[in-house]
Amino acid sequence: MSTRPVAHWIHAHPQADSFNSLLFREGVEALSRDYDVVTSDLYRQGFDPVLAARDFGDPLGRPGNVVDLMGEVFAEGRVPDDVAEEQRRLAAADLIVLQFPLWWYGPPAILKGWFDRVLTNGFAYGPNDPETGLPLRYGDGLLSGRRALVIVTAGEDDRSIGSRGISGDIDQLLFPLTHGTLWYTGIEPLDLHVVHDADGLDADDVERETARLLARLDGVVDEVPSRPYRRLKDGDYRGTRALRADLLPGRTDLDIHRIR
């Protein structure tokens, strides 16, 4: 049995001859030097992103709260086969790689649907901490102990999706993913890996960006985030779900939820 760490690489791009697919192939090969890598190529495997009656435990559907129904299905071992396989891969991973193009300022629908169906109550989140009474979320979800590298290609340059860009800062745009999805379930997101102007790269640019990703992957086994998020349990949100008034008073930007 291998004693190497495991990486689960989730890829979401529909074209096999795309720049994204090139990065996927080259990246998996490079990461395999340090990790046992399993992959979910969502378009190639035909993953169905639509949350439907089958996910609630009845082919015809049944009434009730969606979160509760999916929790019951997981607890009873009746998760659909395609979801069960994705959960198995994710549960075994030390590192999760999420790779996708930025479409309408977020991930493609197939990846959003993967989150909807795979990160279920009972698997990724659910109970409260018996000691504090707080939900096991925001740094302490059921998937804690794992790290994630998000690789995103964007058609815009680093100014338009920069800190003062017309399209909004990329870290803020992907806050629902890095904080509201990954950190919520306990997965610690590393700094984003962004490829700008991805629609207009020439051959030299492609070679440069591929090499930049491979260099990042070469050191990812020891990498930590430069600006980690605050944990719910550490008291910074004591008494409310808003940051305490004495911390960074007057600020309302999303960066207040990071520790510098």
Q: Looking at the DSSP assignment, which residues form a beta bridge with residue 229?
A: 258
Query: Is residue 50 within 8 Å of residue 113, measured between CB atoms?
Result: yes
Structural domain span for residue 151? 6-228
- State percent of the chain over pLDDT 90: 74
Does residue 120 sit within a domain? yes
pLDDT of residue 239: 67
Does residue 136 sit within a domain? yes
pLDDT of residue 131: 79
pTM: 0.93
The DSSP code for 148 is E
Does residue 235 sit within a domain? no
Residue 18 predicted with pLDDT over 70: yes
Residue 132 predicted with pLDDT over 80: no
Count of structural domains within the chain: 1
State the pLDDT confidence band at 177, using cuts at 50, 70 and 90.
Answer: very high
pLDDT of residue 168: 83
CATH number at residue 189: 3.40.50.360
Residue 243 predicted with pLDDT over 80: yes
Looking at residue 238, its amino acid is R
The position carrying tokens 């990071």 is 258
pLDDT of residue 9: 98
Distance of alpha carbon 164 from alpha carbon 134, whole angstroms: 36
Element (H, E) at 71: helix 66-75
Does residue 253 sit within a domain? no
Encoded tokens for 32? 């395999």
Does residue 167 sit within a domain? yes
Residue 25 predicted with pLDDT over 70: yes
Does residue 53 sit within a domain? yes
Residue 103 predicted with pLDDT over 80: yes
Query: Is residue 112 within 8 Å of residue 162, measured between CB atoms?
Result: no
Does residue 239 sit within a domain? no
Does residue 98 sit within a domain? yes
CA 62 to chain centre: 30
pLDDT of residue 134: 78
State the pLDDT confidence band at 3, using cuts at 50, 70 and 90.
Answer: confident
pLDDT of residue 200: 87
The CA-atom distances, in angstroms, between 56 and each of 84, 143, 244, 249 are 14, 22, 38, 43
